[in-house]
Structure 1
Amino acid sequence: MRTIAVVKRIFQQMLRDKRTLGLMFVAPLFILTLFHFLFTDNTTENPKLGVAHVDAAIVKQLKKKEIDVIEYERAGDVKKTIVDDQLDGFMQMKGDDIRLTFENSDPSKAKALQIKIQQTIAAEAAEKQAAMMKKVLHGIQQQLHAPVKMEQMQPPTVHTSYVYGDKDTSFFDTLSPILVGYFVFFFVFLIAGIALLRERTTGTLDRLMATPIRRSEIVFGYLLGYGTFAVIQTLIVVFFAVKVLDITLEGSLWHVILINLLLALVALSLGILLSAFANSEFQMMQFIPIVIIPQIFFAGILPVEEMASWLQAVAKVMPMYYGGDALKSVMYKGMGLGDIRTDLLALFGFAIIFVTLNVFALKKYRKL
């Protein structure tokens, strides 16, 4: 009977907490639906390959392999052309020398394109060899008693280079910068949200609101207080990832720190904001599948440009979309602040919006 009494109390408690019930049943459906659209609505684009002075027969074969071939009269600065024209690779021919340059921001995509090109080159070389053999056999038939010299055709020499990374670059090398930012974002959000929630449940916030202090002063006080620990956590994560785990770093370490500090500021202000709408730590945890988990899918782990157009629009309201792009650009591609200024401004804009909303959220506790 006592066990039944405990069960009855839990039932009554859960039924009174409509928000917890709603999140418990709605959150899994939300995540499942998101997974469904992310993995079924992707529109795979053909790789784009620039070519210069390449045999027409090879170009024809490349197009048959579902490669969008863009022909150039001259190569110029190949790496700059690849970046400016958003190509996946560039192919040049000079006699028996073939030069391949891959963009390589997605190593798996670059390797798939390289395999298609190598197959095309091998097939074309085999056709030329077969044509030569046919010519030799025809000569033998015409001059049975004359010595026939068989020429061995040399396969073309292929030289491969990359705009970003090298031949040993793995998918994790492009993934690791995003994960660094995501873990900073996740833990700062969680710690800040639960810490402020504890301030409310213990009555500290109510006592603060009973004083003449302004709402904005409370918000900035919490931001500076918790922000100090967020900065320390960010520095520890970044230095550990770069110095201990030896994660790829082509750009400036200070730029990486700046991006992660902005991500931490966004996560801090967002965590404080959402804690105002949670009545318990359990409810705060339930914001994670709705607010935090979707961030990782739009941060660059999955190619956003291959998603459905409406999912691409959703990605652009996710802070990690800009944070992931900035971190990958600096750590993997070696870009500078000028190249990522749009991402930095977007993150700063998110922080301003969340801080402003925090000030208004405190109205539910006191009107000044």
Structure 2
Amino acid sequence: MENDSFTGMIKHVFKNGLNKQTLGLAIIAPLIIMIIVGYMVTMVGTQDPVKIGVVNYDKGLGNFSASSSIIEELKNQENVSVVYISQDQITGDLNDKTISAALVFPENFTTDLTRKNAQLNMTLEGTDQTMNILDSKAVSTSVTAVAAKTANITQPLTVNVNDLYGTGLDFTDLILYRFMVLITLVLSLIIALVRVLQDKKTGLFSRMAVSPVKGVIAYILGLCIFGFLIIPIVLAFLIFIMGATIVGSLTSVVLVMLLISLVGTSLGVLFTSITQTRNQAFGLFAVVLILQVVFSGLFIPVSRFDQYTQLVSYSLPFTYALDAMKSITIKGFSLADVGTDLVALLVILAVAVIVSMAGLKLVQKSGDDQRNDQKV
């Protein structure tokens, strides 16, 4: 150190900080973070399109059809689209997100309005509370507009709202599945990341790299056991302490969490296999974690993103893990019903394993080259 004065200490610290890592964290990192935050804020401010499916059996009264008037008012609203469907399409279309709500007008709808006892049946998907509010608001606005134009003929209208899923569940039940997935995936990844990095210090990693295929599989199978320990702890806390309600099979939930933990472990092994230093491994982990949190649908539905951003979303394991867990815990789906999500997770697992093997092979080759150079 130049001198032991306070000023000298400051100069020394500043000079040591003039490196790529520190400058990157100070300049590039906040720029990237603010771009991502700005994009998220823009998406939050964007209203989801309201897509209402209509089943219209109403025969009208003379030349007047109250159902047609309400439907036209819906069509005239900004960000609201209307599609005509049949009764037996409601459940499938809500599941496929082709529609966000369904309206069923009975055969005598207009006639019943004049008798002050009309019923309008509305079915919501039920798991997205924000969308539920938007759908209900769109229908209410249309009914009020028609009432104002027809001397309040629609004022006695009763709207029967039914939720396809989520009936009887509170707000906590509708969001806890997100934390189940987040905790399981991230902690499993960190356990594998830290453990393999420690092995790099002792030289065990280099010995494992001698047989890349066996080494990667041994790491994943050996470390996933620690990841599996997370599952009963998380479930026990949510069910017995938080009082969470799980609609679907608890066995299905456990099996999906096991797969998620396995994927997390494989990613931890992957990050350490393709990086050379601890900082590089944790830097890659930070980047991937940010992508998972921002673009997987954890806070903002994937449907709000543009088509190019959705490509990023559908390359992330978190996207499929969230969808599968939501379908089982809230909708009561079986493993067969979430087969697409499970297959996607298995594909990501396979890719992570293959790339990790390639990384270990490079480590082995690099080690062999160094030994040959030393001999020369």
> 2:310 is matched with which residue?
312
Tell me if 1:330 matches 2:332: no
How do 1:213-232 residues align onto structure 2 when only pairs under 5 Å count? Answer: 214-232=211-229
Runs of 5+ unmatched residues, structure 2: 59-66, 107-111, 113-117, 369-376
**Counterparts of 1:349 and 1:77, CA distance in 2:** 31
Aligned equivalent of 1:46, options 26, 30, 49: 49
Compared with structure 1, are the counterparts of its residues 207 and 128 closer, same or farther at alpha carbon in structure 2 (3 Å cutoff)? closer
How do 1:50-61 residues align onto structure 2 when only pairs under 5 Å count? Answer: 50-51=53-54, 52-53=56-57, 55-61=67-73
SS at match of 2:120: strand
SS at match of 2:127: coil
User: Are the equivalent residues in 2 in contact too, given 1:27–1:290 (CA < 8 A)?
Assistant: no
User: Are the equivalent residues in 2 in contact too, given 1:125–1:155 (CA < 8 A)?
Assistant: no
The CA deviation at 1:229 is: 0.6
User: Are the equivalent residues in 2 in contact too, given 1:299–1:320 (CA < 8 A)?
Assistant: yes
TM-score, with normalisation over the residues of structure 1? 0.81
Q: Which has the higher contact order (CA 8 A, sep 6+)?
A: 1
The CA deviation at 1:89 is: 1.1
User: Quick check: which has more Rg, 1 or 2?
Assistant: 1
Aligned equivalent of 1:69, options 82, 106, 118: 82
User: Are the equivalent residues in 2 in contact too, given 1:197–1:278 (CA < 8 A)?
Assistant: no
Tell me if 1:164 matches 2:177: no
How do 1:292-303 residues align onto structure 2 when only pairs under 5 Å count? Answer: 292-300=289-297, 301-303=299-301
Compared with structure 1, are the counterparts of its residues 350 and 261 closer, same or farther at alpha carbon in structure 2 (3 Å cutoff)? same
Aligned equivalent of 2:38, options 36, 39, 62: 36
User: Are the equivalent residues in 2 in contact too, given 1:219–1:355 (CA < 8 A)?
Assistant: yes
**Counterparts of 2:208 and 2:81, CA distance in 1:** 63
Counterpart of 1:53, as a letter, is: Y
The CA deviation at 1:312 is: 0.6
**Counterparts of 2:337 and 2:235, CA distance in 1:** 21
> 1:115 is matched with which residue?
137
Compared with structure 1, are the counterparts of its residues 81 and 32 closer, same or farther at alpha carbon in structure 2 (3 Å cutoff)? closer
TM-score, with normalisation over the residues of structure 2? 0.79
Larger displacement relative to structure 2 (5-14 or 255-264): 5-14
**Counterparts of 2:94 and 2:218, CA distance in 1:** 48
Number of residue-to-residue matches in the alignment = 340
The CA deviation at 1:5 is: 7.1
Counterpart of 1:185, as a letter, is: L
The CA deviation at 1:320 is: 0.6
The one-character-per-residue Cα deviations of 1:247-296 (angstroms, maximum 9, x if unpaired) are: 3422111222222222211211111221241523x554333431112102
User: Are the equivalent residues in 2 in contact too, given 1:181–1:324 (CA < 8 A)?
Assistant: yes
**Counterparts of 2:21 and 2:270, CA distance in 1:** 17
**Counterparts of 1:163 and 1:263, CA distance in 2:** 27
Identity of aligned residues (%): 27
